[in-house]
Amino acid sequence: MELLGSAASPFVRRIRLLLGERDCVFRGIDIYGADREALRQANPTMKIPVLIDDDQTVLDSRVIARYLSAQMDLAPLSWAQENQLTVIDGATDSAFLLLSASRSGIDIGQDMPFIQRQQERIAACVASMDAQAEQGAFQEWNYPAICAYASLDWMLFRELFDFASFPGLLALRERHQHQPMVAETDPRQPAD
């Protein structure tokens, strides 16, 4: 089994954390450079992560998580947990759009409806995640907690959001920082 991705991506990190110590080769690829054609062939959406398990290729972290959960005999997610993932992805997708815009030379501090809508979505999703964390969600190191941790830590690393007034999420980060593979998958470290 092989996971294509990059060490910096929160969507890839969540799968690496779900895999834990399980046998899977992590292949860091340069999605904006040398490996772009390989990425196109593996996944026409041209996004990471991509899981390759012999003849079966699986696209999108949410689907990869379902695929691995079935192999690992994990309980299916509840509808409430599915909604948690949707909210986490809402924040992460919009934060990633803003980072990509900024790297393309767009001033994301400017007063533009497209940018404001991303910031509005991130704020709403973070507030919802924080409220859920305060109510006891994400205490157990399961897939929703893994996704929340990876996205939160990535937004802090990229300085995309100020979490100072979200104690539930800061506590979540503190609580899970020593879980298996968290240190090894820290996006602040070199890829391999």
Binding site for ligand GSH (CB under 6 A): 9, 11, 31, 46-49, 60-62, 96, 100
Residue (31 or 160) nearer to ligand GSH, CB:
31
Residue (96 or 166) nearer to ligand GSH, CB:
96
Residue (98 or 133) nearer to ligand GSH, CB:
98
DSSP string, 26-39: EEE--TTTTTHHHH
Least distance from ligand GSH to the Cβ atom of residue 48, Å: 4
Least distance from ligand GSH to the Cβ atom of residue 95, Å: 10
Least distance from ligand GSH to the Cβ atom of residue 14, Å: 8
The dihedral region occupied by 106, where left means phi > 0, alpha psi between -120 and 50, and beta the remainder, is beta
Least distance from ligand GSH to the Cβ atom of residue 9, Å: 4
User: What span, in angstroms and rounded, lies between the C-alpha atoms of 167 and 132?
Assistant: 11
Least distance from ligand GSH to the Cβ atom of residue 49, Å: 6
Residue (36 or 117) nearer to ligand GSH, CB:
36
Residue (48 or 146) nearer to ligand GSH, CB:
48
